Amino acid sequence: MHYAFPPLIPVAQRFDRPRLTNVDGEMKDQMKKIARDDVAGKSIAITVGSRGIADLPEIIQSLVRNLRDLGADPFIVPSMGSHGGATAEGQIKVLEGYGITPESVGAPIRSSMEVVEVDRLSDGTPLFIDKIASEADGIVIANKVKPHADFKGQYESGLVKMLCIGLGKHKGAVALHDHGFGRFAELLPRAAEVLLARLPVVFGLAILENAFDDLMHLEVIPTGQILAREKELLKLAKSSIGRIQFPEIDVLIVDEIGKNISGEGMDPNVTGRPGSRLPGFDAPSIQKIVALDLTPQSKGNGVGIGSADLTTRRCVEKINLGAMYTNAITATILEPAKLPMILNSDHDAICVALKTCNRIQPQDAKIVRIKNTLELDQVQISPALRVWVDSNERLDEIGPPAQMQFLPSGKLT
């Protein structure tokens, strides 16, 4: 199958770009909110999850150093629910993929899937926490605050979810996911209230990024302020994410998906396709999505591939079904783990996507190509979308149109 593909035009999408560059200086200022007596002489468990975060090793290293300066004995607890194949070793490997090692952050990593039951909600739902963390004198809940990929609420991805699900390991994640994402908006704050009352949480460390995946904000939040402050920070995070600034797309070409990019491989806040099928995701209308490859940082967890309509053999061959299925089953959402139509090459997948779009001829298709759903400052578009560039002051052509180039194997260069 061969088409005369329309050329693609490189376009810059302009977003506001507030940046935090002095991590250690900001951390020192933020840590002034914490009294020495709150941590001195105490073992402190720091949560680190499975999401890609800008400057994460530097942030955790600075946090460790500042805690030590206050006389504490900090260590890292992998806090990622069932990720990493739901094994202690797998979760350490996930952290290594993000540059988090004992050497890089200056603190030991203590990984286990063993949990203890802390309490139960009024409906009988058990609340679990990592056993190692439960035995520490104090806990620091550190996580990125951002819109969630499956549901909308006052608390989505952030400190509350890290406390309730990430730190709950596989067993804790299953207990809450059994309710379904449709209940998370009211379930998570209820669970967090109970856990914050029962656990020695010293403070939260909220991390926010801008639309370019740069670090833009760090904030130490004393325990009693976590629930109130996270709601405000989520509003800031939602206003700062990158989006595709075209209202209608026939074919969206995504060079790579992955767990380091989004919990669902491709961020539904960008594609409008949450695996939960819940409402509230504002995105362009897209006829077909083509996912070409899986990032190495995903360690074979291809969850999110189900949001694509077509993919390639090389992408599917990188998927570890065990890791992907464990993640999907724990989340009780199977859609993101379903395999789309698999084509032999990038060229063939794009051809079939164009062939199966309705109401267009391939040469007139509205095509957008992105690297992934995190890096959206530069995209490529077909001429049919040029009218939107002319009318949007946040869009600029930055080069001439060029034909898509393929290797003899059919791989898009």
Q: Report which residue type is found at 167.
A: L
- CA–CA gap between residue 300 and residue 293 (Å, rounded): 11
Do you know the residue count of the chain?
413
For residues 48 and 33, give the distance between their C-alpha atoms in angstroms, rounded to a whole number: 21
Task: Show the tokens assigned to 76.
Answer: 């890292």
User: b/e for 37-62, b at 16 or more Cβ within 10 A?
Assistant: ebbeebbbbbbbbbbbbbbbbbbbbb
**Residues forming beta bridges with residue 254, ordered by sequence position:** 291, 370
Tens digit of each residue's pLDDT (9 = 90 or more) over 50-86:
777 889 999 999 999 999 999 999 999 999 987 787 8
Phi, psi of 312 (to 5 degrees): -115, 160
Residues 310-328 as b/e (b if ≥16 CB within 10 A, e otherwise) read bbbebbbebbeeebbbbbb
Residues of the chain above pLDDT 70, percent? 99
Predicted confidence band of residue 283 (pLDDT cuts 50, 70, 90): very high
Q: Is 359 exposed, middle or buried (0-12, 13-18, 19+ CB in 10 A)?
A: exposed
Please provide residue 185's backbone torsions phi and psi, each rounded to the nearest 5 degrees. Answer: -60, -35
pLDDT recorded at residue 124: 96
pLDDT above 70: residue 251: yes
Look-up of token digits 């409008």? 272
> Which of 46-55, 95-104, 207-216, 295-304 is the least confident region?
46-55
Cβ atoms of 346 and 411 closer than 8 Å: yes
3-state secondary structure 262-330: CCCCCCHHHHCCCCCCCCCCCCCEEEEEEECCECHHHCCCCCCHHHCCEEEHHHHCCCCHHHHHHHHHH
**How confident is the model at residue 400, as a pLDDT?**
97
Q: What is the mean pLDDT of residues 290-313?
A: 96
Average pLDDT, the chain: 95
Indicate the pTM of the whole model: 0.83
- 161 residue type, one letter: K
H/E stretch holding 110? none
Looking at residue 1, its pLDDT comes to 62
- Residue written as tokens 């914490």? 34
**For 187-227, what is each residue's pLDDT tens digit?**
999 999 999 999 999 999 999 999 988 999 999 999 999 99
- pLDDT score recorded for residue 279: 87
Tokens of 395: 């869009």
Taken in order 47, 50, 54, 55, the sign of the CA dihedral is positive
Asked if 276 and 181 touch (Cβ cutoff 8 Å), the reply is yes
Tell me the C-alpha to C-alpha distance, in Å, between residue 112 and each of 48, 109, 279, 357, 404: 13, 10, 36, 48, 47
**Position 98: which residue type?**
Y
Rounded to an integer, the average pLDDT of 103-118 is: 97
